[in-house]
Amino acid sequence: MPSSENIFIAHVRTSDGAKQALFDHLTGTAELAKQFAAKIGLPLSGELIGLVHDLGKYSDDFQTYIKSATGIYNPDIDDEYVDSKGLKGKIDHSTAGGQWLIESLRKCNYKTANPQKTQENGKLLSNILSLCVVSHHSGLIDICDTSNNAVFDTRIRKSEEKSHFKEAKAKATEQKLFNNLGDHWEQTLVREFSSFFKPLNEKFKQEKISQTEYDFYTGFLVRVLFSCLIEADRSNSIAFEYPNRSHELVFVKPDWQAAIDKIELRYQSFAHNTDLHPINIQRNLIAQTCLENAQKSQGTFSLTVPTGGGKTLASLRFAVYHARQHNLDRIIFIIPFTSIIEQNANEVRKILEDEGFEGSWVLEQHSNLEPEIQTWQSKLIADNWNAPIVFTTMVQFLESCFGGGTKGVRRLHQMTNAVLVFDEIQTLPINCYHLFINAINFFSVFGNTTTVLCTATQPVLDKLSTEKAVKNRGILHTPTEIIGDDESLKHLFDTLKRVEIHDHTQVALDDEAITEFVLDKFDTFASTLLIVNTKAWAMQIYQSLKDKVDSEAIFHLSTGQCAKHRKDLIKQIKDRLKNNLPTLVISTQLIEAGVDISFNSVIRFLAGLDSILQASGRCNRHGEMIDDNNQSVKGQVFVITPVSENLQKLPTIQHGKTTMQNLFYKLSLPENQDKSLLHPEMVSTYFTHFYQYQYDEMVYPIDKQHHLLGLISTGDVRRNNNDVRVKKDGQFPQLWQSFMTASKAFKAIDAPTKAIIVPYGMEGKELIVALCGVKAKNADFYQLVKKAQAFSVNVFPFMFDKLTEAKALTAIGDTGIIVLDEKFYDEVMGLNPSGDSQMEFLSFGFGEF
């Protein structure tokens, strides 16, 4: 530790002007990064990148800047004072650390029988670690871009005048920054990496993996290490800036046995119920099968269960037992839609969290309220998933794995040494298939992570068996099916059959005919759910029906409503259904995946088989329907198609419709009369046809020359005969990835969305007022932001621009948090861009965005 009179500053606390010593920040970050990287067997790698990430802050230029910017230097007294506003972001303090790693590791003296291998090892190690350091403010930069420019090499060759490497190195050495590394840390580091790459090299030599997979894993390793650095840097900074929040950053190994005890209490209550419905008996059998499989080795599992089969609780049972068995850190549930996060999270909370201990087990992430361009304050309020059980969305998972910047990748390392439970995996965007597959394989082989793929409609990701896919793209390691073999699956689906599906797609219906069809089924069955493919259709049909039905009986659901709004509406709907009151709901597909609700009849606009079967899971869900003789009857599901439907921006739905029309035709043939859409074998048939002609879409194409899988693996720039390739003697690869180019091109959904906080109800209004009245540096602000996720709506760029033009948006300081004017939110429909909602006006007292 350097003497107090020779202190170099890393940060200055906003609240009281206290100074964080650079030495303390670097060593503290190093210790955290070491802990995080140890989960993948690379603790020294993590320690090194943490130790030198801000090495350039030792320069006189940076110290003068920070002292001027924070008021330590007085412009009227101190000659050293500079205009900090003009220098903000212009003093490079990240390149020096990368240059130190290059200099140290390319001269690595670890001896092997093959001097060339030693040299290549050192070069690879230096590139990987240096890339993390120089990128820790911008997000991972390209090694080479698509024009063959050597971006990383140019950065690492920055002049002393711009990087201050020699100056910073000398001062850090004087402060004994590197002393704790020991005398032979280089050898330890290379042995560490050799151990990591050993299974990868063996698989490659045996031709069990392709060049693409090899390079993908290498590139993904960079991203995981980068995540360790970002999390360590942010956490150390938070602990200094907000001392009263430091306890949030301490990782405590979950007491999985305590969780198991509470889960088993729940199942014991089921066992004591002697009047169990046959559906519940099957749910208990599924949960017991999950318990038995939890003792198996780590890997990839599938849990194929009919809709309404109790997947959430059964998968929780598997995950908690499995986490205890293998001493894992956390369980992450990845959900397709924000609309069902709260429902599933609450189901787990009721079991695990005692009164007064809310939040002790479960963390929800409804939407991403962090801005794209992060300020110092907004970086510190971000969730880092430091909880035993996390509920998040597929969008957030994919953004963490492949998105740009630093906000999403910060959470990536939390997915190692964990259980990942994917609910409704069939909703994975088709252009992300091979990205997802290779990421899951990485977690399985290198991350000490188990993956569970849950759904009633498994998308057979392990059977993308075209020669092209196998050789060049990678396929999912064959999952272990928890339920058992094909016969076991068929028996389960037959036992849990609760609906009949009717094809009414031979004749397309116009608006009037659709309205009449819906009213007819509503009159017949008393409770009807209509699921459409677009928000426009949901709005149109709701408007057509609202004057023809009792106003208390009709409901509209869409993602234009915040999670709290939808939760309140769904509660009203459930209460009516429970009391056998007539109920008609018009919804987008948000309701068809995992929402625990049951109608007597469901009408589904034509879509893919997976969507139709998910919709059927909202019909007679618990087998509760009975006739006048108290005998069980089937729920009724009707598939219709409109005359006109604009799916130009929804090609996956359009392709699913086409595939399903062909499947309906085949099922109508006499030889197929005994086959059921509800059987897993039919789902497999559907996906086989659905994938046909779509293999080129599965690599995330960017343009005619490039796809994202190529950019983050072999690198689309490696196309000429002179490219350096990995040899099959186990020689280490070199990096070629275009990380930043790829991340800028990546969007987990067709268009990026931005989260805005909406003034829904009095609670939403008061929340916005509170956010505007609390300074970001206050710990209460962080808690308010977490609460605000349930009051946020994700909007596409065109809608964001429209609202901005209408002066409907307001930014809260420099936090990046944006709120909506109440005139633009309707208590019935949700987001209302016309600004003519009937909500009572409330002035928030701040300017327009």
pLDDT at 99: 97
488-506: per-residue pLDDT in tens? 888 888 888 899 999 999 9
pLDDT at 669: 85
User: Do residues 550 and 469 share a domain?
Assistant: no
pLDDT at 629: 87
User: Do residues 463 and 593 share a domain?
Assistant: no
**Domain finish residue from 208, 230, 247:** 208
- Does pLDDT of 1 surpass 80? no
Number of compact structural domains in the chain = 4
pLDDT at 484: 92
Q: What angle do CA 512, 515, 519 make, to 5 degrees?
A: 140
User: Do residues 462 and 513 share a domain?
Assistant: no
Which residues, in sequence order, are CB contacts of 513 under 8 Å at separation 6+? Answer: none
User: How does residue 849 score in pLDDT terms, banded at 50, 70 and 90?
Assistant: very low
User: Do residues 521 and 579 share a domain?
Assistant: yes
User: Do residues 795 and 668 share a domain?
Assistant: no
Report strand pairing: 825-826 vs 818-820: unpaired
| Contact between residue 812 and residue 818 where contact means Cβ atoms under 8 Å apart | yes
Q: Does some domain include residue 706? A: no
pLDDT at 559: 87
| Contact between residue 583 and residue 577 where contact means Cβ atoms under 8 Å apart | yes
Our CA dihedral for 435, 439, 440, 445, rounded to 10 degrees, sits at: 140
- Does pLDDT of 110 surpass 70? no
Percent of the chain predicted with pLDDT > 70: 88
**Angstrom distance (rounded) from CA 162 to CA 98:** 13
234-277: per-residue pLDDT in tens? 999 989 998 887 777 778 899 999 999 999 999 888 766 656 67
User: Do residues 774 and 799 share a domain?
Assistant: yes
Which residues, in sequence order, are CB contacts of 786 under 8 Å at separation 6+? Answer: 383
| Contact between residue 228 and residue 37 where contact means Cβ atoms under 8 Å apart | yes
Residue 43 CA to chain centroid, in angstroms?
25
Q: Does some domain include residue 714? A: no
Please tell me which residue, 1 or 770, carries the higher pLDDT value. Answer: 770
177-191: per-residue pLDDT in tens? 999 888 788 888 988
Q: Does some domain include residue 41? A: yes
Q: Does some domain include residue 273? A: yes
User: Do residues 310 and 441 share a domain?
Assistant: yes
- Does pLDDT of 843 surpass 50? no
Of the listed ranges 358-372, 419-433, 596-610, the least confidently predicted one is 358-372
- Determine the average pLDDT of the residues in 281-296: 93
Q: Does some domain include residue 519? A: yes
The mean of the pLDDT values for the chain is 86
> Three-state SS for 510?
coil
Which residues, in sequence order, are CB contacts of 642 under 8 Å at separation 6+? Answer: 508, 509, 510, 511, 514, 537, 605
Which residues, in sequence order, are CB contacts of 848 under 8 Å at separation 6+? Answer: 807, 809, 810
> Three-state SS for 754?
strand
User: Do residues 28 and 73 share a domain?
Assistant: yes
pLDDT at 348: 94
Find the DSSP H helices in 384-507.
Answer: 394-402, 433-446, 467-472, 486-495
**Angstrom distance (rounded) from CA 635 to CA 631:** 13
User: How does residue 117 score in pLDDT terms, banded at 50, 70 and 90?
Assistant: very low
Tell me the β-bridge partners of 480: 301
Q: Does some domain include residue 836? A: no
| Contact between residue 808 and residue 360 where contact means Cβ atoms under 8 Å apart | no
Domain that holds residue 541: 498-677
Of the listed ranges 141-155, 188-202, 274-288, 549-563, the least confidently predicted one is 274-288
pLDDT at 108: 64
Our CA dihedral for 125, 127, 128, 134, rounded to 10 degrees, sits at: 140
324-374: per-residue pLDDT in tens? 999 999 999 999 877 678 788 889 999 999 877 777 899 887 655 554 444
User: How does residue 471 score in pLDDT terms, banded at 50, 70 and 90?
Assistant: low
pLDDT at 778: 67
733 DSSP 8-state letter: P
User: How does residue 845 score in pLDDT terms, banded at 50, 70 and 90?
Assistant: very low
708-723: per-residue pLDDT in tens? 999 999 766 554 434 4
Crossing angle of helices 22-37 and 211-241, rounded to 10°: 140
Tokens coding 196: 């990591």
pLDDT at 722: 40
User: Do residues 477 and 502 share a domain?
Assistant: no
User: How does residue 149 score in pLDDT terms, banded at 50, 70 and 90?
Assistant: confident
- Determine the average pLDDT of the residues in 412-420: 98
47-98: per-residue pLDDT in tens? 999 999 999 999 999 999 999 988 888 787 877 888 777 777 779 999 999 9
User: Do residues 632 and 770 share a domain?
Assistant: no
Q: Does some domain include residue 216? A: no
- Does pLDDT of 456 surpass 70? yes
Q: What is the CATH number of the domain that holds 475?
A: 3.40.50.300
User: How does residue 732 score in pLDDT terms, banded at 50, 70 and 90?
Assistant: very low
User: Do residues 639 and 584 share a domain?
Assistant: yes
User: How does residue 121 score in pLDDT terms, banded at 50, 70 and 90?
Assistant: low
- Does pLDDT of 152 surpass 90? yes
758-777: per-residue pLDDT in tens? 999 999 999 999 988 877 66
- Does pLDDT of 207 surpass 90? no
Please tell me which residue, 830 or 593, carries the higher pLDDT value. Answer: 830
Q: Does some domain include residue 517? A: yes
**Angstrom distance (rounded) from CA 697 to CA 768:** 42
Q: Where are the beta strands (DSSP E) in 336-449?
A: 362-364, 389-393, 418-423
**Angstrom distance (rounded) from CA 804 to CA 800:** 6
pLDDT at 438: 95
**Angstrom distance (rounded) from CA 27 to CA 42:** 17
Please tell me which residue, 524 or 354, carries the higher pLDDT value. Answer: 524
525-559: per-residue pLDDT in tens? 999 999 999 988 999 999 999 999 999 999 999 98
User: How does residue 672 score in pLDDT terms, banded at 50, 70 and 90?
Assistant: confident
pLDDT at 369: 57
**Domain finish residue from 493, 508, 539:** 493
Residue 382 CA to chain centroid, in angstroms?
14
pLDDT at 373: 44
User: Do residues 440 and 556 share a domain?
Assistant: no
